[in-house]
């Protein structure tokens, strides 16, 4: 349901490529003349991506030094014209700064520069809870709907856990989370670090506390620049984090949510109607990366910075990116795709939602990159039967079947290569954690806009973190049978595609 999209930029520096004639180095006076005029935010991508010092997890020092050396002369020349803020990256050989149109054109002719691209804003799609009234559904539909049954209560959510045979209420049922790895430990993603990039959340809510009292978050970083306590949407972040590693037994006690308070009034459920919410990989450790400001947008360079932090600082095993857009043209100079490619080269599995384009079918970037695991969405109907949310109430007896391709799921080709989705996972829809503090986490509301510690979450934004959780299960199992060695991202992708 939640989908982020690129917006048009007024910057006129669209992917300016290197010309055949190299520009000579500017004198200080020439540099000052070039710097005159309106400044626009850009990312300068260097031609040499320093293949002899590739990004390697736990060993980025040599690459960072090589990248800094490579960028030094260009940055020094820019600073001659006007003192400006420059943010250098190291997973990719690029830097973000602000330049005039003349400086951008001059940089584009430099023999060391591959492209000068606009630092595009990326806007979050605010998830607004629909305000449903008792008159919202026609009486004829209400009369035709069967009464709720207790089979919709006392369930382990999201239903995706059962659809994928990952977890069931009855521990005796064969399920992935009860399988023992090579060390005799249940396969829950234990020891695997998974990062997600979204908006803000509260990592201290009970659903992120393990049975032993520890927290699933090992790091939480705010790249927005907003003061602490600034309101944030939070639905996407809570949905991503919960899909990966929600805990249904914090401090060893079951955590219940009463969904009878979250239903369309025409179709009441027994009260209480309790559910528990668990992640695909509850044993995994989470790294939360908040990139969306209180204004509802971020920048391409901030996303690259977050990816780089996950790789270089936290040494994560998996990155989930439940965002994307449809920039035109979708070129090989997209900094986020380049950063993802660098992360994959460093040994990180990158999982990306492909968008909710539905019948339009268009895949969103960076899901168009061949190295990532591009995820589409399938149906999971129980949440509809529980809430009767939608024009036609759906029940287990209505004939609909789980795990078919969802109408919202993208399924077309990429712009510049023959690319479609790699795998699909349930995304239409499921229950997820949230927070009842709507003064800070304002998207955490029920159908009547009341504060809610849980939410309905869906779209390929759910399918992607569920798949990232599956990647964590694969990595734990592989390590246990390969003396601690990590599988390559390509192997993780191959395993997931072969078992999907």
For the chain, the domains span 9-119, 150-499
Do the strands 217-222 and 285-290 form a parallel or antiparallel pair, or are they unpaired?
A: parallel
Q: Find the helix or strand (DSSP H, E) in which 489 lies.
A: helix 489-499
Among 55-64, 364-373, 397-406, 491-500, whose mean pLDDT is lowest?
A: 397-406
Through-space distance between the first and last CA atoms of the chain, rounded to whole angstroms: 22
| Residue 435 vs residue 35, higher pLDDT | 435
Kindly state the average pLDDT of the residues 172-194.
97
Does the pLDDT value for residue 318 go beyond 90?
A: yes
Nearest partner of 470 among 243, 217, 170, judged by Cα: 243
- How many percent of the chain have pLDDT more than 70? 86
Q: Find the helix or strand (DSSP H, E) in which 269 lies.
A: none
Cα 49–chain centre separation: 26
> How many helices, marked H, and strands, marked E, lie in the chain?
11, 20
Q: What's residue 233's pLDDT?
A: 94
Q: How far is CA 475 from CA 185, 248, 490, in A?
A: 13, 23, 12
CATH code at 150-499: 3.40.50.200
Cα 159–chain centre separation: 20
Beta partners for residue 122, in sequence order:
6, 298
Kindly state the average pLDDT of the residues 160-175.
96
**Structural tokens at position 398:** 């209505």
State pLDDT tens for residues 186-204.
999 999 999 999 999 999 9
Does the pLDDT value for residue 448 go beyond 90?
A: no
Q: What's residue 390's pLDDT?
A: 66
- Report the SS3 class of residue 448: coil
Q: Distance between CA atoms of 497 and 500, rounded to whole angstroms?
A: 5
Does the pLDDT value for residue 142 go beyond 90?
A: no
Q: Distance between CA atoms of 148 and 365, rounded to whole angstroms?
A: 41
Kindly state the average pLDDT of the residues 414-426.
85
Beta partners for residue 428, in sequence order:
379
Q: Which residue has the tokens 């095993």?
A: 317
Among 115-129, 243-257, 304-318, 423-437, whose mean pLDDT is lowest?
A: 115-129
- Report the SS3 class of residue 154: coil
CA angle centred on 233, ends 229 and 235, rounded to 5°: 125
Mean pLDDT of the chain: 87
Please, where are the H alpha helices in 326-445?
335-345, 382-387
17 and 115 in contact (C-beta within 8 Å)?
yes
Q: What is the DSSP string of 204-238?
A: TSGGGB-TTS-BSEEEEEE-S-PPTT--B--HHHH
Q: How confident is the model at residue 22 (pLDDT cuts 50, 70, 90)?
A: very low
**Structural tokens at position 239:** 């949905």
State pLDDT tens for residues 454-477.
999 999 999 999 999 999 999 999
Among 260-269, 271-280, 422-431, whose mean pLDDT is lowest?
A: 260-269
Q: Is 418 exposed, middle or buried (0-12, 13-18, 19+ CB in 10 A)?
A: exposed
Q: What's residue 57's pLDDT?
A: 86
The rounded radius of gyration (Å) of the Cα atoms in the chain is 24
**Structural tokens at position 221:** 């970083």
Q: Is 322 exposed, middle or buried (0-12, 13-18, 19+ CB in 10 A)?
A: buried
Q: Distance between CA atoms of 374 and 320, rounded to whole angstroms?
A: 11
Nearest partner of 13 among 333, 492, 428, judged by Cα: 333
Does the pLDDT value for residue 2 go beyond 90?
A: no
Q: What is the DSSP string of 363-390?
A: PPBTTTSTTSEEEEEEE--HHHHHH--S
Q: What's residue 326's pLDDT?
A: 62
Kindly state the average pLDDT of the residues 205-210.
98
State pLDDT tens for residues 100-113.
999 999 999 999 99
Kindly state the average pLDDT of the residues 64-92.
95
């Amino acid at each position: 349901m939640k989908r982020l999209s690129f917006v048009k930029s007024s910057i006129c520096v669209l992917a300016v490529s290197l010309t055949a004639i190299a520009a000579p180095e500017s004198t200080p006076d020439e540099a000052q003349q070039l710097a005159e005029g309106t400044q626009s935010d850009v990312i300068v991508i260097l031609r040499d991506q320093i293949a002899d010092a590739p990004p390697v997890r736990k060993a980025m020092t040599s690459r960072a030094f090589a990248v800094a050396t490579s960028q030094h002369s260009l940055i020094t020349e820019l600073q001659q014209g006007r003192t400006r803020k420059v943010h250098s990256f190291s997973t990719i050989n690029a830097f973000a700064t602000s330049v005039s149109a003349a400086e951008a054109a001059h940089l584009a002719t430099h023999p060391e520069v591959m492209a000068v691209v606009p630092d595009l804003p990326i806007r979050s799609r605010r998830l607004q809870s629909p305000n449903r009234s008792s008159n919202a559904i026609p009486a004829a539909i209400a009369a035709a709907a069967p009464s709720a049954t207790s089979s919709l209560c006392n369930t382990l959510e999201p239903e995706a856990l059962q659809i994928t045979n990952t977890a069931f209420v009855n521990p005796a049922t064969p399920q992935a989370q009860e399988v023992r790895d090579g060390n005799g430990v249940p396969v829950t993603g234990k020891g695997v670090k998974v990062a997600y990039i979204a908006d803000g959340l509260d990592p201290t809510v009970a659903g992120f506390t393990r049975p032993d009292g520890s927290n699933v978050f090992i790091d939480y970083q705010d790249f927005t620049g907003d003061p602490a306590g600034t309101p944030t949407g939070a639905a996407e972040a809570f949905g991503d984090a919960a899909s990966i590693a929600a805990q249904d037994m914090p401090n060893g006690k079951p955590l219940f949510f009463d969904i009878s308070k979250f239903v369309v009034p025409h179709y009441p459920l027994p009260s209480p109607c309790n559910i528990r919410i668990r992640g695909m990989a509850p044993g995994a450790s989470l790294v939360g990366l908040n990139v969306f400001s209180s204004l509802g947008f971020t920048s391409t360079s901030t996303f690259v910075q977050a990816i780089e932090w996950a790789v270089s600082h936290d040494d994560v095993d998996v990155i989930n990116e439940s965002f994307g857009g449809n920039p035109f043209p979708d070129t090989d100079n997209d900094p986020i795709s380049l950063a993802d490619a660098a992360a994959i080269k460093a040994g990180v599995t990158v999982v990306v939602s492909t968008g909710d384009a539905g019948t339009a079918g268009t895949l969103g970037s960076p899901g168009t990159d061949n190295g990532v695991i591009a995820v589409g969405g399938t149906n999971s109907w129980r949440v509809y039967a529980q809430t009767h949310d939608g024009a036609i109430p759906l029940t287990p007896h209505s004939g609909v079947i789980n795990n078919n391709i969802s109408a919202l799921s993208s399924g077309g080709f990429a712009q510049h290569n023959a690319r479609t989705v790699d795998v699909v996972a349930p995304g239409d829809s499921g229950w997820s954690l949230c927070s009842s503090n709507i003064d800070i986490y304002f998207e955490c509301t029920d159908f009547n806009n009341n504060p809610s510690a849980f939410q309905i979450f869906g779209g390929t934004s759910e399918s992607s973190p569920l798949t990232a959780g599956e990647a964590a299960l694969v990595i734990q199992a592989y390590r246990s049978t390969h003396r601690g060695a990590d599988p390559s991202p390509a192997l993780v992708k191959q395993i997931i595609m072969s078992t999907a």
